[in-house]
């Protein structure tokens, strides 16, 4: 009898032949799909070999005999996989492991015999075993062996595609089963591990109706949030949110990332919307007399969608950062030291004057660019402390923060982020001092404009410039966006009958 290791070595040689001479590079798309399906069948059977090798012996003794402290370490070293992958293999082996009878020496049935058979037949892999058994294993102490074996049979048949939605009780009919091209019984479409997990969860709910209450208690015990240490300029956030908290956060992020679809209510106020004139290049303002025409501003649109190059994950981060800032300013936020929660940023006076160096954040090893510290104070939740050789020489005061009445007026005037192409509602924006307060800029509606968190933070380096023209905000974009480098008045901020050229 050929040794199993020699058989696997021959399989490896055959795979080497497949990988040689650019055989795969010349395949058609149809042939590539066939190769992927065949590779999946091989992969599942290789996983079955690994699991059965561990499951047919004592894995702890096997690992110790090989000089490894655990079965997981043995799998890692033998298969050259990561710890998580090795852990799943060891877990699957424990679920389908068979013990031998102390009396007769015969092999006893596995804990999940039908799932084991599906694994050995190449129907499912390690991920399928873990997903199918996990939900039922979590309630193992509240169900009997018969119920577990019934779930085992049902899940294995589901993996094989034998269940019909109209008659789930008739699990097998060997006489009517068609035959595939290889001579084996034809199977239904493969089932993904995630789908097996959902079916197993439904079975667990049926077998243990009190499970959700226990899950709630489990969730309450596991809830938590951790902010990790600084690593390469970033803090990693990990933890578990309760479903209602996660839904609330998701709703906030959706509202900020999709302001046009079920977003936060737009503030009331006059908004000028141009309509095409007779020549297609002019618009009549609301309330304008007949014949009064205003040239359309082509720079208040972003047809190429090049203004915002952030990934979706980066957008979620920025929306989360803005939401935290809004929460800190909210009147319902508990006070800290007699005031709203305030982040104090310490910056050196020389660095601030030259826009160089770094600013320090309390409670963190992180630093931020001085240019960022110069602008973040506009939001009113960050206080800047200026030091010179250790001595405090400047500190932001409350009169530099826009009042709620000023915010409402600015929101009514501008309605959304001032940068063309960005449609984050002004109610969700931070109010930016066009002329920096430290340079004599007043905290007034004639010096404040709404900017979303991203555009506010990146303003010093993004190439966008903002100025006020008789109390009306104007924007000049970077050269790649507008080669003429003209000042433009956003359509939602301009008065009806006066546009800036």
pLDDT digits (tens, 9 = 90+) for 89-123: 999 999 999 887 777 778 888 999 999 999 999 99
Distance (Å, rounded) from C-alpha 378 to C-alpha 438?
11
Nearest to 496 by CA among 417, 425, 413, 424: 413
Among 42-46, 270-274, 490-494, the range with the most confident prediction by mean pLDDT is 42-46
Q: What is the pLDDT of residue 283?
A: 41
Q: How many CA atoms lie within 13 A of 123 on its CB side?
A: 26
Bigger pLDDT: 293 vs 486: 486
The single residue listed with the structure tokens 């000049």 is: 476
**Residue 432, φ and ψ in degrees, nearest 5:** -100, 135
Contact 240, 224 (CB under 8 A): yes
Alpha helices for 182-226 (secondary structure H): 193-207, 211-222
Average pLDDT, the chain: 74
Min mean pLDDT across 307-316, 368-377, 405-414 is at: 368-377
Mean pLDDT value across residues 239-254 = 70
Q: How confident is the model at residue 273 (pLDDT cuts 50, 70, 90)?
A: very low
Q: What is the pLDDT of residue 275?
A: 38
Q: What is the pLDDT of residue 216?
A: 59
With pLDDT > 70 as the criterion, what percentage of the chain qualifies?
Answer: 62
Contact 205, 215 (CB under 8 A): no
Calculate the dihedral angle through the C-alpha atoms of 156, 208, 98, 196, rounding to the nearest 10 degrees. 30
How do strand 343-348 and strand 382-388 relate by DSSP bridges?
A: parallel
With pLDDT > 90 as the criterion, what percentage of the chain qualifies?
Answer: 25
Look at residue 251 and tell me whether its pLDDT is greater than 70. Answer: no
Min mean pLDDT across 333-337, 338-342, 344-348, 395-399 is at: 338-342
Structure tokens at 458: 């990146």
Q: How confident is the model at residue 274 (pLDDT cuts 50, 70, 90)?
A: very low
How do residues 426-439 score in pLDDT, each as one tens digit? 887 888 889 886 67
Look at residue 66 and tell me whether its pLDDT is greater than 70. Answer: yes
In sequence order, what are the residues at sequence separation of 6 or more whose Cβ sits closer than 8 angstroms to the Cβ of residue 154? 163, 171, 199, 203
Give the start-end residues of each E strand in 413-478. Answer: 430-433, 448-451, 465-469, 472-476
Q: What is the pLDDT of residue 81?
A: 92
Nearest to 456 by CA among 349, 377, 381: 377
Mean pLDDT value across residues 151-162 = 91
How do strand 472-476 and strand 465-469 relate by DSSP bridges?
A: antiparallel
Mean pLDDT value across residues 210-214 = 53
- Map residue 239 onto helix, strand or coil: strand
Contact 489, 467 (CB under 8 A): no
Helix count and strand count (H, E) for the chain: 16, 13
Q: Can you name the residues that pair with 482 across neighbouring β-strands?
A: none
Q: What is the pLDDT of residue 329?
A: 63
Structure tokens at 185: 């019984």
Q: How confident is the model at residue 344 (pLDDT cuts 50, 70, 90)?
A: low
Min mean pLDDT across 4-8, 331-335, 396-400, 450-454 is at: 396-400
How do strand 282-283 and strand 294-295 relate by DSSP bridges?
A: antiparallel
Q: What is the pLDDT of residue 324?
A: 73
Bigger pLDDT: 43 vs 453: 43
Min mean pLDDT across 219-223, 233-237, 363-367 is at: 363-367
Q: How confident is the model at residue 231 (pLDDT cuts 50, 70, 90)?
A: confident
Look at residue 479 and tell me whether its pLDDT is greater than 60. Answer: yes
* CA distances from residue 144 to 139, 141, 151 in whole angstroms, order as listed: 10, 8, 11
């Amino acid at each position: 009898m050929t040794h199993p290791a020699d058989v696997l070595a021959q399989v490896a040689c055959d795979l080497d032949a497949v990988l040689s001479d650019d055989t795969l590079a010349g395949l058609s798309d149809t042939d590539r799909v066939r190769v992927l399906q065949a590779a999946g069948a091989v992969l599942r059977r290789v996983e079955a070999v690994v699991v059965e090798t561990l499951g047919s012996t004592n894995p702890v003794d096997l690992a110790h005999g090989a000089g490894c402290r655990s079965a997981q370490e043995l799998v890692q070293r033998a298969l050259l996989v990561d710890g998580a992958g090795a852990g799943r293999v060891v877990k699957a082996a424990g679920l389908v492991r068979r013990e031998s009878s102390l009396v007769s020496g015969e092999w006893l049935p596995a804990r999940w015999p039908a799932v084991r058979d599906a694994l050995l037949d190449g129907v499912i892999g390690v991920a399928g075993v873990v997903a199918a058994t996990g939900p039922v294993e979590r309630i193992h102490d509240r169900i009997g062996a018969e119920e577990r074996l019934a779930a085992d049979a049902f899940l294995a048949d589901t993996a094989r595609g034998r269940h019909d939605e109209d008659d789930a009780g008739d699990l097998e009919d060997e006489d009517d089963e068609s035959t595939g091209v290889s001579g084996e019984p034809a199977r239904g479409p493969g089932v993904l591990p995630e789908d097996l997990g959902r079916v197993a969860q439904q079975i667990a709910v049926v077998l243990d109706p009190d499970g959700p209450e226990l899950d709630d208690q489990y969730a309450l015990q596991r809830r938590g949030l951790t902010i990790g240490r600084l690593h390469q300029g970033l803090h990693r956030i990990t933890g578990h949110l309760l479903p209602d908290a996660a839904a609330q956060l998701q709703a906030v992020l959706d509202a900020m990332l999709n302001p046009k679809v079920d977003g936060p209510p737009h503030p009331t106020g006059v908004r000028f919307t141009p309509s095409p004139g007779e020549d297609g290049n002019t618009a009549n303002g609301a309330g304008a007399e007949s014949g009064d025409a205003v040239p359309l501003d082509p720079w208040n649109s972003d047809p190429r969608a090049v203004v915002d190059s952030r990934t979706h994950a980066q957008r979620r981060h920025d929306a989360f950062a803005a939401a935290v800032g809004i929460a800190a300013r909210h009147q319902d936020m508990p006070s800290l030291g007699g005031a709203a929660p305030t982040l104090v940023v310490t910056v050196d006076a020389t660095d601030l004057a030259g826009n160089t160096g770094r600013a320090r954040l309390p409670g963190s090893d992180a630093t931020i660019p001085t240019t960022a510290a110069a602008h973040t104070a506009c939001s009113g939740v960050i206080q800047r402390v200026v030091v010179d050789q250790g001595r405090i020489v400047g500190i932001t005061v409350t009169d530099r923060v826009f009042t709620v009445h000023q915010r409402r007026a600015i929101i009514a005037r501008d309605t959304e982020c001032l940068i063309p192409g960005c449609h984050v509602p002004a109610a969700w924006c931070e109010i930016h001092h066009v002329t920096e307060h430290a340079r004599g800029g007043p905290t007034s509606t004639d010096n404040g404009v709404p900017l979303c968190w991203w555009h506010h933070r990146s303003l010093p380096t993004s190439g966008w410039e903002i100025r006020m023209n008789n109390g009306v905000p104007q924007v000049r974009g970077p050269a790649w966006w507008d080669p003429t480098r003209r000042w433009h008045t956003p359509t939602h901020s301009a008065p009806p009958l006066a546009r800036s050229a």
